[in-house]
Structure formats: C-alpha cells, structure tokens
Amino acid sequence: MYRVSTDYLKPGMVLGKAIISDTGTILLNRGVKLTDFYISKLKKLGYDTVFIEDPDTSDIAIEDDINEQTRRKAIQHIRALFNVPISELKNEKKTTINDIKKSIESGRIKEKLANSKILKNIGAISYQIVDEVLDSKILSGLVSFKRYSDFTYKHCVDVTVLAVTLADKFLYDKDKLIELAKGCLLHDIGRVLIDKSLYEEPRKLSKEELETIKTHPTLGYLTLKDIAGIGIISAHIVYQHHEQQNGEGYPRGLKGDNTMPLPRKETKKGYIMPLAEIVYTANVYDALVSPRVYRSAYTPDQAFFIMKRMAGTHINREVLKMMFEVIPAYPLGTTVIISTGKFKNYIAVVSKINRDNLSKPVIRVIFNDRKKRIEPFEIDLSANPHINISGIII
C-alpha cells in the first residue's frame, strides 16, 4: 500500500487502512472500495491523504505504532474527559479569562473529574500506550489521516506516542513514561475552556485573541492540579508544553539549556521540565505533518527541515537529535520524487526503512517523469548516496 492524496483518489481504489474519525469511530474500514460518494465525503471532512492498496506495492505493510483499537479507545477517553469541563461550564456566562479561572477554582470541575470513571480510563489507556510503544520497534512516522483542525483528539494521541518513544530513548523509567503519557493525552485540555472559533477560523487573530490562546496551558494546569490520579508531573506537562528554549514561549517564559543530561537532573527554577521539552518537540512535529485550514500537511522531511531551524532557540537540540533517530524522514509507504540523476522526477514509494540510516530508505520506483506507470524497480538509497529524493504527496 502507499499514501495518496485524496485529490488523486479514483473510484475503485481500495483502502489500505481504516479511517478513524476524530471521535474514535471507524468511518471507513480497510478493504473498502472507494466510490465517488466516499471520495467527496473524505475531502469534505478534511482528510488530505489515505493509504490505498495497490498491486505494485501490495507487499508494503505499514504497521501501526500502536494498535488501532488502543488509538480509538484513547481518543474516546480523551473526548469524554474534555467534555467534563465543557458540560460543567456550558450554562455559565464566561466573558473573561478571569471568569473562567474563577469557575475552575470553584472546584466543581475538579470534583466531577475526580469522582468520574473517566480519569481511571485515562490512567489505564496511558499504561497501555506506554506498553505498546515499548514493544514497537520503530515509529511509522505518524502520518496517519488528519483533519483540518489543530485541536483534535487524534493529535493528542499522536503526540503522546512520539513523546513516550523519545522519553524512553532518554531512559526514563516506566512510571515516568506513564505520567508523561497522561499529561500528554491531556495537554490541550485548557483549549476546551476557550472560545472554539479562535482555533478553527482561518483568520488573523488580534493581539488580544492571541493572548487568550496563550492562557490554555494555565487553564489546563489549574483544571488538573491537585486531582488525585493526576500527578504533579502530568499537570506540569500540561502547564509547560508551549515553553521554548530561549524563554520566549508561554505562559511563564521558562527557559531550556538544550541538554538532556543523564542521569536525570532536578528541574532548575526558571527552567522547563525536561519531559515538557520532549512534549513541545513532539507537538511541533505533529502540528507540521498535519494539514491546517490555511496550508497542506508538510511531509516528514519538510517538517525536519523546518524543525532544524528551530533547534536551539525553540526546540531542545538534544531532543531534536533524538527525534531524527527515531522517526524516518521518509516513512514506509510514503511517496517520494527523485531529484537527481537519470531517474530525475520519477516517483517512488518507500518500500523498506534502513534502520541504520533512516534518511536513506529503499524505494520502489513506480511512475516515470511523466507520471506514467512503469515496471517497478527498487533502489537502495543507502548504497546509492548520489541519488537524492524529497517527500511529496501525490
């Protein structure tokens, strides 16, 4: 199978992977033959790419980094938890951030959360995600099917999978990884307390509106802190997930020193907690490879390029270095275009990842430079360093 833009879908193509909605239900199952109706529905819902089965790439199996059912369950649990503050505050007139803070401090939301089964579910699913991440060998590249919105429950799950993978590489123990997963799944809970239109409308925001958005880590932290079942680490991940190395992040302008020393140091006053630096990095990557109302998704190699420029100032250099070692620049099943040599402009699908050299996979060339199908052949880029490729979405 390989990944295709929904613009290129034709009736009769067969889905290689199920399409899961943002509420965690299956919209279309794998193996479904696409029709005009399905294709226009997918586009309307904002899906930009899907995996399709194809005779020339039928042997390319793209494994999930976590089980599809776990992902769906996680989405449902996050949604249920985010709905608690939404429904608790729905009849209140909230005009300012201070009003919202007062509502949080009144304790009703916390009480409701603490007494609900939902929190236990989040704990259990965090444990399960950590277990599955520790078992899986390589990240599939997190290029699943996204929707036009940067506030999706799926985004929370993808960020969690990447953050846990990175933290494991930095030798955090399992208990910490579970705390991390919990904080990560809930990192954007503060957003549900803010006017939705600020995130979803494609328009330039006023200074005031931007300031409102920047309160979401604080609102999330206030909502979760001191609840039994949410530890201080998880709460601080929520609080610190937009802080940057140069101190220009928000809400508190904490700093980073671009290191990830081992053994673990205590967090210094005024500095970002290392686990939150990992979440920040995972969050930036996932935002880049997801489409937005105003732009298409970046391919992973484009995202890497952008993130390299953010290293040192925004992103912790050590964390980014580790990310390049766990995410392939060209994930399995993605399409690439050859940019040098006699096959210039031919289009290929990544057919095998070289684990020792993630940026030099084996590719299977299936289209010529006029986008005509050809008899497929493979090139191992690690053995042909002069051949360059870049990621594209066809």
CB of 191 to Fe ion, least distance (A): 7
Q: Which span (38-46, 113-121, 186-194, 273-281) binds Fe ion, by CB under 5 A?
A: 186-194
Phi, psi of 200 (to 5 degrees): -100, -15
What are the backbone angles phi and psi of residue 207, rounded to the nearest 5°?
A: -60, -40
Which region, judged by CB under 5 A, interacts with Fe ion, from 95-103, 124-132, 188-196, 368-376?
188-196
Q: Which is nearer to Fe ion, 176 or 191 (CB)?
A: 191
Site string for Fe ion, 312-331 (x = CB under 5 A): --------------------
Binding segment for Fe ion among 139-147, 174-182, 185-193, 381-389 (CB under 5 A)? 185-193
Least distance in angstroms from the C-beta of 168 to Fe ion: 23
In the complex, minimum distance from the CB of residue 353 to Fe ion, in angstroms, rounded to a whole number: 30
Collapsed DSSP state (helix, strand, coil) of residue 141: coil
- DSSP 8-state assignment for residue 56: G
Q: Give yes or no for a cis peptide into 263 (omega within 30° of 0).
A: yes
Query: CA 119 to CA 233: how far, in whole Å?
Result: 16
CB of 216 to Fe ion, least distance (A): 6
Distance between CA 61 and CA 59 in Å, rounded? 6
Query: Residue 283 CB, nearest distance to Fe ion (Å)?
Result: 7
Minimal CB distance residue for Fe ion: 188
H helix runs in the chain, sequence order: 36-44, 68-89, 97-105, 108-114, 117-135, 153-169, 174-185, 197-200, 207-213, 216-224, 232-240, 274-288, 300-310, 317-326
Nearer to Fe ion among residue 247 and residue 376 (C-beta): 247
Nearer to Fe ion, 213 or 227 (CB): 213
Binder of Fe ion out of 188, 243, 301, 318 (CB under 5 A): 188
| Binding residues with Fe ion: total (CB under 5 A) | 1
Distances (CA, A) of 187 to 160, 237, 309, 317: 9, 7, 25, 22
Provide CB contacts within 8 A for 258, sequence distance 6+.
245, 312, 316, 317, 318
Tokens linked to 4: 């295709």
As measured in angstroms, the least distance from the Cβ of 129 to Fe ion is 19
Smaller CB separation from Fe ion, 48 or 188? 188
Q: How far is the CB of 112 from Fe ion (least distance, A)?
A: 23
Residues binding Fe ion (CB under 5 A): 188
